[in-house]
Every structure is written in structure tokens, then in C-alpha cells.
Amino acid sequence: MGGVKNMTSLSEAHKKFIKNLEGKNRASATVLAYGKDIEQLIDYLAKKGKVEPQAVSTEDIKGFMEKLQKEDYTAKSISRKTNSTKTFFRFLKAEGLIGEDPSAEVAHPKFENKAPRILSRTEYRALRDATRNDVRTFAIIEILLQTGVRISELANLRLDDLTFTKNHEVNGELKIRAFENRPARSVPLNPAAQKAIKAYLEERPQTKDDHLFITKTGRPLLVRNIRATIARYFKIAGIQDAKVNDLRHTFVAHHLQRGFNILLLSQIAGHKRVSTTEKYLEHIERPEQEVSELEEL
């Protein structure tokens, strides 16, 4: 076995860890979350006088998790931070910066995954009604509800990713570009979504930027802007305890409920595993028959 390398501070190790994650093409949100989790751990350890990886013990890490519990972090949040910590120390061991992994004996807290928030027909109709006079937001809502794309994928859409059809009863196509660690895929664009997008394009500001959704000044609409806008319309529509990603949950659940082919639905949603799609079956009424194509919600 090789010996431990020269002393490196936890802060320096943290920077190396982040670069390693980025080099593996991990999603930017994942890199950011891991970075913040480890930064929080390092701050805690620094107050205990632990500034080098080799000085950290299992008890130190358990103490950090207990502190989070006392500060009313949820079990799910603590589990995520535990995962970040374990990943960090496995990296340190692989790099030869520590001999033994102090996080190996740290257990994840137990918690139950909440059922996905699925909008009822009344709720998503109310959301549509609330956004009727805002063509951009209405188009955003329709794409999210009718295609199930992720908000990051929606924000990354370009004008040439759209294929419309002249026949109003035929699906067009939405090309989802390869993004971070997710491969490219094609998604059916049904008549309802096509109609909403065309209405928005008639009022879309003229600009050189080719992003589908832009601000009034012609700049790409950011994910945080989209989240804030939809959150405001959830409130206007009287929809409680809902987030943007719940529109994606709604897309998957309602199509399963109508008996849509689960393998095809998994591909359209961009799930890495069919088992991810199958989990929704626990939260819906069992489908009685299959339908051959995407229908409007």
C-alpha cells in the first residue's frame, strides 16, 4: 500500500474535489450542492481545530450530522450531506490524501420519500387559465405539462429545436440537446403545445439570440426567472404546495394513468432507468388500456 501524500489542507482538498467532479462532467447543480455541503463541513471542522484531512475522525463527522439535526435540518437533507461527505472522503482516500476513510462508518439517517406532487385536472386547468394573457408563460407551462421536460432543458431550448406540423392533429417534435451528463433526445410536441409556442413566437422580441424563451430585452430567460414566474402563477391560480418540477411529475403520472407505454414514456421523460418511471405507478390508479400516442392533458 502506498503512503499518504504530503499534507494538504481541507480547503485545498475541497478545490481538488470540485475540479474532479467537473472533470467527470457531473451536472452543475450536483457540483454546486456537493461544494456547498463540503464547505459547510469544513467550516464546522475548522471551529474544532481540524484543518487537514488526516485530522478528521469518524466522531467529528457524526458530530457534524448531529449538529445539523439539532438545527432542524430534515432527514433527507442530512442524508444528502452524508452522501456528499462520503463521496468527498472516498475521493481523498483515492488521491492518497488520507489513509483510512473516517466517513465509512457514518450511517445515513432513515427517511421516507414523499409521494410526487401531481396536479389534478382542476389544478392544471386553473394554472392554464391564470396564464392565458401571458403568452410567454402560457407557452412555458404548456411545454412543461405536455412534454415533461426538465426546467433546465426548457431554458436551454433554441428556435431550431422546434419542428411544427401543418396538420393540427399530428405531433411535431422538440429536440432536447445533450446537456451536462444527459444525452440528447427527441420529444413529441403535441398540437396544444405547438399552438401555445406559435402564439408566443408572434410576440417574441426580435433579437440575435436564438434561445426560444427570452426576456423583453432579448436575453435568455434563466432557470431562476422561470421558477419565480411559475411560482407566482401557482399562487394566482390557488395551487398550494407545488413547484415547477411537479409539472413534470404531472406529465408522467397522467400519461401512465391513461395507459401510455411505460418504456416509451421513460425515454420521452429522459429517465436513466425505467424503474424511475415505474415508481409513479404507486401513486396513480392502474391504467386499464394503452394509448398509442401522447394526448393533450
CATH number of the domain residue 36 falls in:
1.10.150.130
232 shares a domain with 130: yes
Buried b (16+ CB within 10 A) or exposed e, 63-91: ebbeebeeeebeeeebbbbbebbbbbbeb
Mean pLDDT of the chain: 89
Q: What percent of the chain has pLDDT over 90?
A: 72
* pLDDT tens profile 5-62: 556 899 999 999 999 998 887 777 788 899 999 999 999 999 999 999 999 999 999 9
Q: Are residues 268 and 161 part of one domain?
A: yes
Other CB atoms within a 10 A radius of the CB of residue 222 amount to: 12
Phi, psi of 199 (to 5 degrees): -65, -40
Identify whether residues 57 and 142 lie together within a single domain. Answer: no
Whether the pLDDT of residue 107 is over 50: the answer is: yes
Instruction: Please indicate, yes or no, whether residues 202 and 267 belong to a single structural domain of this protein.
Output: yes
Regarding whether 164 and 239 lie in a shared domain, the answer is: yes
Question: Residue 296's pLDDT is what?
Answer: 57
When mean pLDDT is compared across 199-203, 231-235, 272-276, the lowest value belongs to 272-276
pLDDT of residue 197: 96
Count of other CB atoms within 10 angstroms of residue 100: 11
User: Residue 87: what pLDDT?
Assistant: 95
Q: Are residues 126 and 89 in the same domain?
A: no
Q: Is the pTM of this model over 0.75?
A: no
pLDDT of residue 25: 76
Mean pLDDT within 111-118: 79
Q: Do 127 and 259 sit in the same domain of this protein?
A: yes
Domain annotation covers residue 108: no
- 54 or 3, higher pLDDT: 54
Helical H segments across the chain, by residue range: 10-23, 28-47, 58-70, 75-94, 121-131, 135-147, 151-155, 191-203, 223-236, 245-257, 262-269, 274-278
Structural domain contains residue 153: yes
Q: Is residue 245, in this structure, part of any structural domain at all?
A: yes
DSSP string, 9-74: -HHHHHHHHHHHHHHTT--HHHHHHHHHHHHHHHHHHHHTT--SGGG--HHHHHHHHHHHHHTT--
Q: What is the pLDDT of residue 29?
A: 79
Tell me what pLDDT residue 3 has. Answer: 54
| Entry field: residues in the chain | 297
**pLDDT score at 72:** 87
Phi-psi region of 270 (alpha: psi -120 to 50; beta: other; left: phi over 0): left
- Identify the three-state secondary structure at position 115: coil
> CA 296: distance to chain centroid?
24
Q: List Cα–Cα distances, 125 to 71, 204, 239, in angstroms.
A: 39, 24, 11
Q: Are residues 83 and 217 in the same domain?
A: no
The dihedral built from the CA positions of residue 26, 29, 31 and 33, taken in this order, carries a sign that is negative
In a domain, 1, yes or no: no
What residue numbers bound the domain in which 274 lies?
A: 121-283
- Looking at the fold, whether 215 and 254 belong to one and the same domain comes out as yes
Average pLDDT of the residues in 197-226: 94
In a domain, 296, yes or no: no
Amino acid at 130: A
Taking each helix axis from N to C end, the angle separating 191-203 and 135-147, rounded to the nearest 10 degrees, works out to 150
Residue 203 scores a pLDDT above 90: yes
Q: Is residue 102 pLDDT above 80, yes or no?
A: yes
Does residue 33 sit within a domain? yes
pLDDT confidence bin for 294, thresholds 50/70/90:
very low
- Beta-ladder partners of 162: 174
Looking at the structure, do residues 171 and 243 belong to the same domain, yes or no? yes
Residues 131 and 174 grouped into a single domain: yes
> What's the total number of domains in the chain?
2
